[in-house]
Amino acid sequence: MPKLQNKPTNVFLFTSLLLTVIGYFFVYSAGSYWGKVHYQDSLPFFWKQAMYGTLGMLCALAMSKMTFLTNRKFWKLAYILSILLLFSVYIPGLGIVRNGSQSWIQIAGFSLQPAEFVKISVIGFLACMLAQKSTGLKRRYIQPILVCLVPAGIILVQPDFGSAFLLIVGGFSLLFIAGFPVRFFVAIGSMGVLALAGLIISAPYRLKRIYAFLDPWEDALNSGFQGTQSLMAIGPSGLFGHGFGQSRQKFLYLPEPQNDFIFSIIVEEMGFIGAFLLIGLFCLFLYTGYRLAVLAPTKVGFYAIAGIQSMIGFQIFLNIGVVIGLFPVTGVTLPFISYGGSSLLSTWLIVGLILRFSKD
């Protein structure tokens, strides 16, 4: 059995910390003017990000020592509780609406997005399920599909298309890693395309996003506003950018630049070189995570780490793709970097979970 010190744990942890610190700097830079205008303070986003980051690191440290996290009964219970948590957004006085989506809860002035934590429980429970030997069609196909689709359907109703899409991609990536046949994914993929088309057609705001994606300049002051402003930030940045803190688009041109579109501010200030280095760090994070999966001493550990890394890797790819105009706007954060307590906290919970599964 390989010893922990022979694994790329230190590089994985160092990369996670470095990405978080980079996130602190650019949350401050991107959100300073927005904070002055709306909160009369240039640091509100920075302090909240630092608080959630510290809390996340402490939780990750604690999780790395919790042996029950590798227990199937725990993940079954966590999955059930996470489903119930999704319904808590509809409780009066607890659930809140943001940007037209009722997918948040607020407790003592702090807001959390349950979908961020449901994604973790789905991967954990699915990993335990797949690690068990099963022969029946129901257990082999139907149950894993339902484990993914039930919470994804609840999240879609809220509506939160981005989180539901990531959950489905993460879950089905794990099924692929577990060796499910190609014909299974062809069938599911075909049905998924039809369902996706139906979802887009049924919601006018999603259709607007598709039109804005195809030609953001057609309605540059309305549905295409975020996309065009993001491209206007990236386009003139050049090789080295305008310099840290020197973004122009953060001055109320790009809406809430510290959130989903923070990558465009990073490119604007640090240029192609800065973007290349940041993407390189993400690649190192993913590579060392997958290495920990391969070296995991148990089958459950391998599935859990590989599934989590696949999900977070696709999230990185999707966010950057949206920012540079490759995909329609989905509302997906950039892990470690984007402002958001739920996103940063859940990402560090993932780090703690990977550390735990890499041990036993």
Q: What is the pLDDT of residue 193?
A: 77
Q: What is the pLDDT of residue 16?
A: 96
Query: Residue 171 belongs to what domain range?
Result: 4-357
CB-based contact 192:147 (threshold 8 Å) = no
pLDDT, greater one: 183 or 290: 290
Number of domains in the chain: 1
Alpha-carbon distance values, 248 to 45, 205, 271 (Å): 19, 28, 13
Residue with tokens 């949206």: 322
Give the CA dihedral 197, 163, 23, 241, nearest 10 degrees.
0
CB-based contact 274:267 (threshold 8 Å) = yes
Termini Cα distance of the chain: 10
pLDDT one-digit tens code per residue, 227-254: 888 889 898 888 999 999 899 998 888 8
Backbone phi, psi, residue 96, to 5°: -130, 155
What tokens does 341 get?
A: 């307590």
CB neighbour list of residue 275: distance below 8 Å, 6 or more residues apart = 263, 266, 267
Q: What is the mean pLDDT of residues 252-272?
A: 92
Alpha-helix residue ranges (DSSP H) falling in the chain:
9-39, 44-63, 72-87, 114-131, 137, 143-157, 161-177, 182-202, 204-214, 225-234, 262-295, 299-323, 341-357
Q: What is the pLDDT of residue 236?
A: 86
Q: Return the number of other C-beta atoms located less than 10 Å from residue 93's C-beta.
A: 7
Mean of per-residue pLDDT scores for the chain: 86
Burial of 181 (0-12, 13-18, 19+ CB in 10 A): exposed
pLDDT one-digit tens code per residue, 189-202: 777 777 777 766 76
pLDDT one-digit tens code per residue, 280-319: 999 999 999 999 999 998 999 999 999 999 999 999 999 9
DSSP conformational letter for 134: -
Q: 95-98 and 110-112: which strand pairing?
A: unpaired
pLDDT one-digit tens code per residue, 9-29: 899 999 999 999 999 999 999
Q: Residue 137: pLDDT above 50?
A: no
Q: Residue 138: pLDDT above 70?
A: no
Greatest mean pLDDT among 66-80, 222-236, 307-321, 324-338 lies in 307-321
Residue with tokens 């192609």: 272
CB neighbour list of residue 81: distance below 8 Å, 6 or more residues apart = 121
